[in-house]
Chain A
Amino acid sequence: MIRRWRCVECGRTDVTNDDGTGARYHTCPKMRGLSVPFMLEGVKAKLVLHEREDYIGDEMVQLDPERHRPVMSIETVRDHGQDVIVFAPTARAIGRS
């Protein structure tokens, strides 16, 4: 099944020939260099990047490659529903001697 994709932020396009399931991602220059999903051509949507607003402290959260700000999620808002990519932190244990 041939599917045509388009990024709603940077306009980049792509074509895949697959079984018709799953999503397609790319590193988007308009979304601070984060990996974001393409939308199928013709689907109206917008991407919203949410930064973490809590106190980070020494938590190993994910930072965006461009501004090095802590990112929480990217929301894809469509006419009917939304998708979310959550950027999970790393749980860390440190041994002390």
Chain B
Amino acid sequence: MAFGTSSKVFVATIEYQFEGGTLNLSTNTLKIALYDDTTTPDATVALANTAYNVGQWTSANEVSDSTEWPATGQALDSVTSGIASNVYTLDAANEVSDGTSATLADVRGCLIYDDTVSDYGLCFLSFGGAQAVTDGTFTVNFAGTGILTMTV
């Protein structure tokens, strides 16, 4: 099992939204949780299995620091959600661990999920390899193209 190198949007979450789902990404609390290499993400799982602490996203696979990147993850700040030129984009400010003494090991990727509605997952991002900090600061720099995009 491995986190792999792909970053995907959950298909079931898109379907849920199309069918009247209640993920208001502009106002809901979104979180980012970190995971190790025992996680095997799959973008095609059922909606329930996209959620935090379910299936592959079990807290047993999560990487956390007791105070500076706690289990269940960090809330995203300055979230933006909108469509321009037929492209939907979700974005947020870069996420930085709280404080300067976090210790995190073997971080392979993250789950972005809706903490307001059933912890449903939106997408997962692969970091491309093992990341770690010791007594330091862990920062996730989101791309200029956003956390997730959907082209229609």
Q: Do A and B bind each other?
A: yes
Closest A residue, CB atoms, query B127: A86
A92 within 8 A of B: yes
Partner of B148, one of A73, A85, A92, A95: A92
- Chain B at the A interface: mostly helix, strand, loop or mixed? strand
Asked whether B133 lies within 8 Å of A82 as measured between CB atoms, the reply is: yes
A72-97 near B? 1/0 per residue, CB < 8 Å: 11001010111111111111111100
Which range holds the interface residue count of chain B?
35 or more
With A53-B128, A82-B133 as given contacts, are A91 and B7 in contact (CB-CB < 8 Å)? yes
Q: How far is B96's CA from A3's CA once the two chains are assembled, in angstroms?
A: 20
Q: Is B6 in contact with chain A by the CB < 8 A criterion?
A: yes
Task: Choose one: A52, A84, A88; the contact of B142 (CB below 8 Å).
Answer: A88
| Chain A residues touching B, majority SS | strand
Q: How many A-B residue pairs have CB under 8 A?
A: 123
Give chain A's interface residue range (CB within 8 Å of chain B). 35 or more
Given known contacts A81-B134, A82-B133, is B123 in contact with A91 (CB within 8 Å)? yes
In the complex formed, the residue of A with least CB distance to B95 is A88
Closest to B136 in A: A83
Min CB–CB distance A94 → chain B (angstroms): 5
Of chain B, the residue at the smallest CB distance from A87 is B141
Write out, one digit per residue, whether chain A residues 59-81 have a CB within 8 A of any chain B CB (1) or not (0): 11110000000101100101011
Binding site for B on A (CB under 8 A): 22-23, 35, 37, 50, 52-56, 59-62, 70, 72-73, 76, 78, 80-95
B contacts, CB < 8 Å to A: 5-9, 11, 14, 96, 101, 107, 110, 112, 123-129, 131-152
Could you list 8 further interchain pairs (A-B, Cβ under 8 angstroms) beyond the known A82-B134, A85-B139, A90-B125? Answer: A52-B128, A59-B126, A60-B143, A90-B146, A91-B123, A92-B8, A92-B9, A93-B151
